[in-house]
Amino acid sequence: MVKHAVEANFDGLVGPTHNYAGLSWGNVASKSNESAVSNPKEAALQGLAKMKALADRGFVQGILPPHERPHIPTLRGLGFEGSDQKILEDAAKQCPTILAAVSSASTMWTANAATVSPSADTKDRRVHFTPANLSAKFHRSIEHVVTGRALKSIFADDAYFAHHPALPSVSHFGDEGAANHTRLCGGYGEPGVELFVYGQVAFNEQAPAPKKFPARQTLEASQAIARLHGLSDAHAVFAQQNPEAIDAGVFHNDVIAVGNGNTLFYHDMAFLDEQKVLDDIRARLKGTELQAVKVSSAEVPIQDAVASYLFNSQLLNTPDGMMLAVPGECREVKSVSNYLDQLVQSGGPITAVEVFDVKQSMRNGGGPACLRLRVVLNDDELKAMHQGVLLTDALYERLTTWVNAHYRDQLTREDLADPMLLDEVRKALDELTGILGLGSIYDFQL
């Protein structure tokens, strides 16, 4: 029986250590803004403003909390000893790059937090979660433990939700979460098709692969998650990302394609075998016609797509058609801006474009789609989840007050060694778990 369902967006709240350390090789924006001065307060408020705007439009909007950073347990595990202050001092002197890595606020990009399969697709009819191991980058590989705790706290009822540990943290099973996964369907509560996009086949050295930048998602990881989630062949399609796109700076599939409902919005360089991908989706999308909206390289060159993050946008249902929520940079790149004007006049499924200012996130390589994890929930599941993380007017006001009280206006790489910053972060996060009602999820709380 098909149940009514909604697609809830769970955005990552930007953490107090938001900074530009240029840690992500293959992410052009991240590297190009290395060592710039960041504004954590502005970044968090920009993210909250986007959440509030969508909640005001009637979308179910949730929040995932930032992580404890700098992460002292990781530094201890790497051999640094003594008090927290001494550990920070020694790390700053001996390994400043490692200190920057364990201070990253990259958990804001919750598209990488996990892969989620709705109950309409899974064998046991529960919503399944697998935190991403993010093994391609050290600074992100330390996230999955606390991400798992947060997800289990929010989606705690075993009758409705199933949680899996992250895949083995090795390159063969590199997993970047929902940034390489999208779901196509008729209605959210109907059985759908989950599109897993991978960059390389780990156990086949002869298979196509990028030459310049690393492929972060493997076919083997995607297949493992599909098995863990109880997805049959009727609910899963595996597609290889175009290696040339990865080498052009498309480090995740959500930088070159986004899907919603029966619509796939993508660039002509997105997939290695575009026609097979479309055929495989159509063969499984029973009773629903796939709306394939392709953007050609002639309309938007791949470099412009990467610079503007056109496809790293949220594609959302509205009463009048689908709305594309884009970063402000899309109006700063001429080819993209012109294309968007033509798109809404084309008579296709995307009928509106709305611009959001997420510049602080964009400078580090993440647009609106990076900032959210999509979780399809039927009415019973929505009721069963923890309600304290769903954005309301009252929670928005409380969180903006919390950000203004605890976040700095400026942060440089040198500030990461300041022991006062660690104290500020822990005090803020301890208060946040109380505000959101999450219990003790951080190492310093356990």
Count of other CB atoms within 10 angstroms of residue 446: 7
Rounded mean pLDDT, 6-33? 79
Place of tokens 């046991």: 124
Token code pair at residue 119: 């109950």
1-5, 15-19, 197-201, 361-365 — which is least confidently predicted? 361-365
Of residues 73 and 25, more confidently modeled: 73
Query: With pLDDT > 90 as the criterion, what percentage of the chain qualifies?
Result: 93
State the pLDDT at residue 193: 98
* Mean pLDDT, rounded, of the chain: 95
Instruction: Identify whether 70 is preceded by a cis peptide bond (ω within 30 of 0).
Output: yes
With beta carbons less than 8 A apart as the criterion, state whether 258 and 182 touch.
yes
CA 184 to chain centre: 18
Is the four-CA dihedral 87, 75, 153, 156 of positive or negative sign?
negative
With beta carbons less than 8 A apart as the criterion, state whether 383 and 356 touch.
no
pLDDT at 25 over 70: no
Q: In angstroms, what CA-CA distances link 308 with 23, 58, 109?
A: 20, 27, 17
pLDDT in tens, 52-70: 999 999 999 999 999 999 9
pLDDT at 30 over 70: no
Rounded mean pLDDT, 219-226? 98
22 Rama sector, left if φ>0, alpha if ψ -120 to 50, beta otherwise: left
Point out the residues that are catalytic: 176, 252, 370
pTM for the structure as a whole = 0.96
With beta carbons less than 8 A apart as the criterion, state whether 9 and 372 touch.
yes
Count of other CB atoms within 10 angstroms of residue 210: 20
pLDDT in tens, 308-363: 999 999 999 999 999 999 999 999 999 999 999 999 999 999 999 999 989 888 88
Place of tokens 């390994």: 95
d(CA 35, CA 32): 9
pLDDT in tens, 385-422: 999 999 999 999 999 999 999 999 999 989 999 999 99
pLDDT at 147 over 90: yes
Instruction: Supply the angle between the helices 84-94 and 419-436 in degrees, to the nearest 10.
Output: 120
Count of other CB atoms within 10 angstroms of residue 434: 11
Which residues are 161's β-sheet partners?
127
Contacts of 65 (CB under 8 A, 6+ apart): 13, 150, 429, 432, 433, 436, 438, 441
